[in-house]
Structure formats: structure tokens, C-alpha cells
Amino acid sequence: MATTKLRKIQKIITGVHTTDGAGVNLTRIIGTTKLDNLDPFLLLDEFSSDDSNDYIAGFPLHPHRGFETITYMLNGKFRHKDTLGNEGYLTDGSVQWMTAGKGIIHSEMPEQTDGLLRGFQLWLNLPKKKKMIKPSYQDIPLEKIPVINLNGLSIKIISGSFSGLKGPGNPHTEMLYFDITLNENSQLNIPIKEHWNGFFYIYEGDIFCEEQIQKGYLGVLDTIGNFRCTAGKKGSKLLLIAGKPLNEPISRGGPFVMNTSEEILQAFKDYYSGNLV
């Protein structure tokens, strides 16, 4: 019988504390000098605070073009509005999937003034042929996210498929996005499509995967085989995210991600002339 190959860890990094928006304190995990991107993923931010001064200013109106944002709220509430009249409301456990496409100008503002706000925002690149598609939104409430409960673990399937269940997230670039809870000493073994880039991020507890890896660390995985790990004595909570690389040039300019510097300059021209959307 053939032995299933396991993905090795290529790199382990921590995030960088920074501010964004109107002064929201957050940890940038992908999108730094430690890990600029992991094709097709452009950025991963974690925001977590029980001090409203760290987040209440939120993210006032700002533009995007050329990628998708996936905002996953663990705790707290955010209200989204855009200049086209769209509005959405994120609550505990929910997800907003925004496809910026050819352009969107929106705001993301917390509504609570105290209590814990915690969650993640992931930027998923769009392929060249889809960068200028019509913007769209997918609001995913907690009850629409399937959960698989196995011996000692549970898996929330935000996007992708596992054990016959498919998540509601509908990306333009093939990917999976799982939020995984492991009980004490329980083991996880997840298949990932060959040649997909993938990573895990531990936001509670610790795991053993070749070595002990603690809360706050991201592990970049090899591109062949399953992901296997074992939880520590206090259990663990982690994100497992993987996707098909686009293998296309990336040109970034603030809130815009295109393929060439000329396209970035055009995005800024469109924005300042009122022609982005």
C-alpha cells in the first residue's frame, strides 16, 4: 500500500504589528518583508483587541481594484457600505467575500464601542482575465458555513471541499479556506490539491508538525501531499488556506493589484478622475 506523502513546512514566520485604515491596530502576516505574497494570496491581516480605541476608527471609504477580499469575523460586528449603494453587516462567525474586480470604493466600520473585536482579512488575487470584471459581494452568515465534527476536531469549511461537504465561498481563483479547532492531542490530516500553495496560521494554542509551533506563527507548506499535525496539550485553533497559483506578474500600488505598473497608474488615474467604478 502506498504511503500518503505529507507536506513539509518550508518556512515559519510571525506577523508584523502595524496600523491601517483610520488607525486600526492589526497584525500583518502576509504582505510584509517576511512574506510578501504566496501566490495567489496577497495579504493576510489579523485584528484582535478588546480595547475599542484599537479599532473603532475603522476603515473609512477607500478604493480597491484587481483582487478579492475575504473578511472572516470571529468576534464583533462590522458594517460595510460602498458608493454604489450596497450594504452588508458582518456579525460573529460570518464572512464577507468581496470581489473588487474593475473597482469599488467602500468603507468597513465597526459598530460596537467596547468588547472583543477579532477576525481576519485575506486578499485573494484575481487572474489577469478577470481583474476588470464587475464588482460583487457574497455575505455568508455563520449558519451557512458547514462544520464537520470528527474525533477530537471540528472543521468550518468557508471555501473548498472536505469529506463530501462544500463551503459557500465562491472564489474566482481555486482555493480552500478552513477554520479548524483541535482538542488536546488530536490529529489532523487534510488532503490538499497537488501543486497548490498553502499555509496554516495558529491563532490559539499550539501544534506539532515536524516541530512545536505556537500561537501567532504561520507555516508555509510544501506543494505536494497532505497536511498533518497534532494539537498540543491545550488544543489549538488554526486557519488552513491553500490555492492554485496564478503564475502571473504582480504589480501593487496601495489598494490596487494588477499585472503591470501601467495598469496601476491607470487605476490611480481612474480613481482620482471619478472613473474607478
Residue 4 within a domain: no
Q: Indicate whether 265 belongs to any domain.
A: yes
Model confidence, pTM: 0.94
Would you say residue 277 lies in a domain? no
Q: What total of structural domains would you count in the chain?
A: 1
Cell 464601542 -> residue: 113
Residue 89 resides in a domain:
yes
Q: Give per-residue pLDDT as tens, 5-21.
A: 999 999 999 999 987 77
CATH code (residue 256): 2.60.120.10
pLDDT tens track for 185-233: 899 999 999 999 999 999 999 999 988 999 999 999 999 999 999 999 8
Let me know if residue 5 belongs to a domain.
no
For residue 84, being part of any structural domain is answered with: yes
Residue 234 is assigned to a structural domain of this protein? yes
Q: Is 143 helix (H, G, I), strand (E, B) or coil?
A: helix
The reported pLDDT for the residue numbered 1 is 40
Residue 2 resides in a domain: no
Q: Which helix (H) or strand (E) holds 264?
A: helix 261-272
Residue 147 domain boundaries: 10-272
Q: What is the pLDDT of residues 234-277, one digit of tens each?
A: 899 999 999 999 999 999 998 999 999 999 999 999 999 998 88
CA nearest 160: which of 128, 192, 188? 192
Separation CA 178–CA 20 (nearest Å): 25
